[in-house]
Amino acid sequence: MNNKLAALLSDVFSLPISQIQSDLQQCDVGTWDSLKQMDLVMSLEREYHITLEISDIVRMTSVSEIMAVLESKGVDLAS
Amino acid sequence: MLVKGATALVTGGAQGLGLSIATYLAEAGANVVVADRNAELLARLPKDLVGVEMDVTDPKQVNAQVAGIVERYGQLDILVNNAGVIFSEPFVNVMNPAGIMHDYDRFRSSLAVNLDSVFIVTSAVVEQMIKRRTKGAIVNISSITACGNEGQTAYSAAKAGVNAMTVTWSKELGRWGIRVNALAPGFIGTDSTRHALTETALKHIESNTPLRRLGKAEEVAQAVITLVENEFINGVVLDVNGGLRI
């Protein structure tokens, strides 16, 4: 799990960083509603200098999907 | 946000207050599109205003027209939800032989044009703003009657709803950089006000207004510019009423 992304998600969802795992899903996080999704989008766009399409935003319902979307935008999560 | 160079959509902008707001925005340097359902009035717009025929209660038509405006100008920066119709009918009218209670169909149609339309147009515009990451400004034209005005159940309810949507959207959309404010005019000396009220009622209003006069349409338009250009005003319902309380 990429440290920078984990820290960002921990901050957005107010979760301990240890809980940010790739198999974490929206349904597992009580605070992950549509408003929080907008905060997530803003944070990701600001941090990675990308623009997410509506289809990307709708798709991001798990950490693994967030990672997949970021990688599709050319974000290197391996480093 | 500077009005100069921005693209604005003003609904119900072919006459009265809406036309004043549209003209003021154009004079300040905005590209202004006026949406109105009255084609004859649109045909008579000044040259610096672009007219689009639109029924603001029809979501399909609104979505298509807004998409067309964005395609033409690249983005929409400003939305002024001005379309509406002043409507007066007492909740109980014991002088009406057809029935003493407020007609329900007229209640619904007043809400459609004064409340639903704001939801419909804002939905279409905000979707475009989000897709393009436009940090836009939305100004909803409310009314002094939003606090509840005798003889205006439907109109007051609609405008109170507009105020509530304004505050709600300011909270939801702020994270996108989209600001939503409302402007609540008091009694403005427009044709629609003069049609809606008797001369006696207007005199009464003037004498009860601390500034002892009706407002001018340009004064409302100036306030619209302030709400658009001041980038830290969000979720506000700004009274422009000469100090009148009803």
Task: Kindly list the structural domains of chain A, giving each domain's residue range(s) and its CATH number in brackets, ordered by start.
Answer: 3-72 (1.10.1200.10)
Whether chain B has a CB inside 8 Å of the CB on A65: the answer is no
Interface of B with A (CB under 8 A): 130-131, 133, 172, 175-176
Tokens 């422009």 belong to residue: B240
How high is the pLDDT of residue B193? Answer: 85
pLDDT at residue B139 tops 90: yes
Q: pLDDT value at position B196?
A: 79
Closest by CA to B162, choosing from B58, B105, B237, is B237
B157 pLDDT band (50/70/90 cuts)? very high
A49–chain B Cβ distance below 8 A for any pair: no
What pLDDT is recorded for position B131? 93
Flag whether pLDDT at A24 surpasses 90. yes
Mean pLDDT of chain B: 96
Buried b (16+ CB within 10 A) or exposed e, B130-161: beeebebbbbbbbbbbbeeeeebbbbbbbbbb
Arithmetic mean of pLDDT, B89-116: 94
Which two tokens mark B64? 């298509």
- Catalytic residue annotation of B: 155
Measured between beta carbons, which residues in chain B are less than 8 angstroms from residue A42?
Answer: 175-176
pLDDT given for residue B234 in this prediction: 98
Which residue has 């979307």 as its token pair? A69
Number of residue pairs across A and B with CB atoms under 8 Å? 13
ipTM field = 0.74
Q: Work out the minimum CA distance from A53 to partner chain B, whole angstroms.
A: 7
Strands across the sheet containing B237-240: B49-53, B31-36, B7-11, B78-81, B137-141, B179-185, B237-240
Among B130, B133, B172, the residue with its CB nearest the CB of A35 is B172
A51–chain B Cβ distance below 8 A for any pair:
yes
Q: Cβ B175–A51 below 8 Å, yes or no?
A: no
Report the percent of chain B where pLDDT is more than 90. Answer: 92
pLDDT at B191: 85
At B153, the pLDDT band (50, 70, 90 cuts) reads very high
Q: Are A70 and A48 in contact (CB under 8 A)?
A: yes
Q: Across residues B190-197, what is the average pLDDT? A: 84
Q: How many CA atoms lie within 13 A of A34 on its CB side?
A: 4
Lowest average pLDDT, out of B64-73, B115-124, B187-196, goes to B187-196
Task: Identify from A35, A37, A38 which residue to disrupt to test chain B contact, counting B C-beta atoms within 10 A and taking the largest count.
Answer: A38
Give the closest-approach CA distance of B131 to chain A in angstroms: 7
Q: What pLDDT does B195 receive? A: 84
Q: Do the chains contact at A39 and B175, CB–CB below 8 Å?
A: yes
- Mean pLDDT for the stretch of residues B14-19: 94
> Which residues from B are below 8 Å from A52, CB to CB?
none
Q: What residues form DSSP beta bridges with A62?
A: A25
pLDDT tens for each residue of B45-102: 999 999 999 999 999 999 999 999 999 999 999 999 999 998 999 999 988 888 999 9
Banded pLDDT at A78 (limits 50, 70, 90):
confident
For residue B135, list chain A residues with Cβ-Cβ distance below 8 A. none
pTM of the model: 0.90
pLDDT value of residue B138: 98
> Which pLDDT does position A79 carry in this prediction?
72
Q: What is the mean pLDDT of chain A?
A: 94
The domains of chain B, with CATH numbers, are 7-238 (3.40.50.720)
Instruction: Determine the average pLDDT of the residues in A13-33.
Output: 94
Give mean pLDDT, residues A31-38: 92
Q: Determine whether the interchain pair B131/A54 forms a contact, defined as Cβ–Cβ distance below 8 Å.
A: yes
Please tell me the predicted confidence (pLDDT) of residue B192: 80
Mean pLDDT of B98-124: 96
Chain B residues with CB-CB distance to A51 below 8 A: 133
Q: Kindly report the nearest CA distance between residue A36 and chain B, in angstroms.
A: 10
Determine the average pLDDT of the residues in A38-55: 95
